[in-house]
Amino acid sequence: MSDDTEENETVEEEDADEEIEETVREKPKLEKEKREKKKEQGVFSYYKVEGESLTRQRPFCERCGPGYFMANHGNRFTCGHCGFTRYKQDKD
């Protein structure tokens, strides 16, 4: 009689495992969002041509000198080479 109860328990365990696997399979796969390609930036994006003249869009670093442009972070400019930060003045 103990053999029958053991067989019933193993059958019940197998059924429970199958139910779990089925619930996992029922979930729909989410589609991966495709990232948009970033527009390549080059040195040409730091200048603006107006007629016959060139104007710089970003300032040079005061420590590193000409050739090292500072990054524009909204409220400040930062040099990526030396870490120098210059805060923008609020226009009120």
What residue segments make up the domains of the chain, in order of their start?
58-92
User: Which among 65, 64, 61, 60 has a CA at the least distance from the CA of 46?
Assistant: 60
pTM for this predicted structure: 0.49
Beta bridge partners of 85: 78
| For residues 66-75, average pLDDT | 91
- Position with higher pLDDT, 12 vs 78: 78
Q: Whats the size of the chain, residue-wise?
A: 92
pLDDT tens readout for residues 6-59: 555 555 555 555 555 555 566 666 777 888 887 777 778 888 999 999 999 899
